[in-house]
Amino acid sequence: MVRQVFTGSMIHADEKEEVTFQDNVAILVEDGKIIDVMENPDQQKIDDFHADEVNNSSPGQFIVPGFIDCHTHAVQFPNLGLGFNKTLLDWLETYTFPLERQYTDQELAEKVFEIVVKRTLQTGITTACYFASLYTEASTLLAEKCSQFGQRAFVGKPNIDVPRDNGYYESTEKSIETTKTFIKAVEQIGNPLVRPIITPRFALKCDMELMQELAEIAKEKDLHIQSHIAETEDQLKRIKEKFGETTCTAVYETAGLLTKKTILAHGIYLEDSELYTLAKRGTAIIHCPSSNINLKSGLCDVRRLKANNIDVGLGTDVSGGSSYSILDEMRSVLHVSSSLSLTGHDNVPFDYKDVFCMATLGGAKALSIEDKVGNFMPGKEFDALVIDLNAENSLLDNFRKYTLEENLQRFMYSGNDHNIVSVYVKGRKVK
Ligand code: GUN
Ligand code: FE
């Protein structure tokens, strides 16, 4: 048994999604699980815990829950920052699928995934939902890297069975077979923090039979599901051409893909009836504002989703997104939300607390893993970041003494990953 104590200032979103600021706490952790959070702790009680390791924060430091990136494409990291002269469907064909097809090369996969997992951990992403490539070996390697470096992760081997010119697709039968092989391979890693996730790429590139079989596998094995939805108007037009006059939500509903463990990226152009279905199924939308701006896809009205009882998590969506830092993504949420209100939408802009919640507890709820992570309630696992506004190479200077609330704002608006000085996943120090 390993016992750890973390003392200092703590910020998290509580069960009511209210961000709370506590100047002096002690968090008691046993085998990676939070046993107790004591406010203004009595030293005797801390001593009685007989910790193997005591971590006392320095002045200017504070502890926050780990960030959750609910949607990113590990294979696309070599294209970071490329291709934004195109819109989605052109961008996919010109830049993205040609890159992803190269992942039959295990050396490339090894090099890229090692960097992806190390770098995302450095930026405080303690839970990541990844799209890998069509190839089982490469996709399994990504899961192995997450396990090796200690990231909590959902790793998906995407499915595409609609024939494409450059050969980046599989027959329906093969796509199912390789998915089953991939699931087994991830299970064999034997790390409960790293789970396979069913990943139909999106309705335009998957036939109904494939999606239905994938839904069956998810049901049988109680797995999460991830895909894309309502990202551009062009995409919706083509979905209507492919499946008849219908919505993308209806296509996924017919396939059986909408569950409480399903997360769908984007959701910009959803009709009211779709919101109703998604809420009924408990399916979450993952907001990816940087990607939506880079590819000129649109501005997602997240308030509307939430008003319709849909859980919303955050996604960097690399390489539609041009940064794997969720700090950058949080700023994009604020920019998009402010832009919507500036352009006449009936929309009260989000503030930094809303977005902090979205990147932590919001992501956990979207993934239905809020019993495990998202905040520091006793019984949950200790996924946490130590933030230091006196860190070297910080963009911030400390001209005066700031309150804890001010420091969270300063970190979110003007901080960088140098301010994230330690990262823990289930108590394991990964930075
Ligand atoms: N829709 C289908 N595939 C993708 C992808 O790789 N990125 C984004 N942004 N949208 C997609
Ligand atoms: Fe995506």
Residues 62, 15: Cα–Cα separation, whole Å: 20
Helix, strand, coil percentages (3-state) for the chain, rounded to 5, are: 40, 25, 35
Domain boundaries, the chain: 3-65+375-429, 67-367
pLDDT band at 152 (very low <50, low <70, confident <90, very high): very high
Q: Which ligand is nearest to the CA of 100?
A: 1
pLDDT band, very low/low/confident/very high, at 245 (cuts 50, 70, 90): confident
- Taking a C-beta distance cutoff of 8 angstroms, is the pair 227, 264 a contact? yes
**How much distance in Å is there from the Cα of 422 to the middle of ligand 1?**
32
User: What pLDDT band is residue 226 in, cutting at 50, 70 and 90?
Assistant: very high
Pick the closest to residue 65 from 9, 142, 12, 16 (CA basis): 12
362-399 burial code (b ≥16 CB/10 A, e <16):
bbbbbbbbbebbbbbeeebbbbbbbbbbebeebebeee
Cα–Cα dist 170/154, whole Å: 22
Domains 3-65+375-429 and 67-367 share a fold: no
Residues with C-beta less than 6 Å from any ligand 1 atom: 73, 88, 92, 96, 201-202, 228, 231, 291, 317, 320
Q: Copy the structure tokens of residue 42.
A: 């009595």
Strand 61-65, strand 384-388: pairing: antiparallel
Indicate whether this model's pTM tops 0.95.
yes
Q: Which helix (H) or strand (E) holds 147?
A: helix 136-149
Q: How far apart are the first and last CA of the chain?
A: 22
Is the pLDDT at 264 greater than 90? The verdict is yes
Answer yes or no: is pLDDT of 347 > 90.
no
Residue 179 · residue 217 · CB < 8 Å: yes
Which residue is it, tokens 């910080």? 394
Q: What is the pLDDT of residue 344?
A: 86
Domain 3-65+375-429 is of which CATH architecture?
Roll (2.30)
Alpha-carbon distances, residue 16 vs 266, 314, 337 (angstroms): 25, 19, 22
Residue 387 Cα to ligand 2 midpoint, Å, equals 29
C-alpha–C-alpha distance, residues 295 and 279, integer Å? 27
Query: Residue ranges of the alpha helices (H) in 222-361?
Result: 233-243, 248-255, 272-281, 289-294, 302-307, 326-342, 352-357
Q: Which of 93, 160, 317 to mutate to test the pocket of ligand 1 (most atoms within 8 A of CB)?
A: 317
pLDDT at 240 over 90: yes
Contact (Cβ atoms closer than 8 angstroms) between residue 182 and residue 196: yes
Of the chain, the percentage scoring pLDDT greater than 70 comes to 100
Q: Which two tokens stand for residue 165?
A: 């010119």
Whether 162 shows a pLDDT value over 90: the answer reads yes
* Confidence at residue 346, expressed as pLDDT on a 0 to 100 scale: 78
pLDDT bracket for residue 333 (50, 70, 90)? very high
* Cα 33 to ligand 2 centre (Å): 32
Query: CATH topology for 67-367?
Result: TIM Barrel (3.20.20)
Query: 96 CA to middle of ligand 1, Å?
Result: 8
Average pLDDT, the chain: 97
Protein residue whose Cα sits closest to atom 1 of ligand 1: 228
**Residue 54 pLDDT exceeds 90:** yes
Number of other residues whose CB lies within 10 A of the CB of residue 400 = 6
- Mind listing the pLDDT tens digit for each residue in 167-216? 999 999 999 999 999 999 999 999 999 999 999 999 999 999 999 999 99
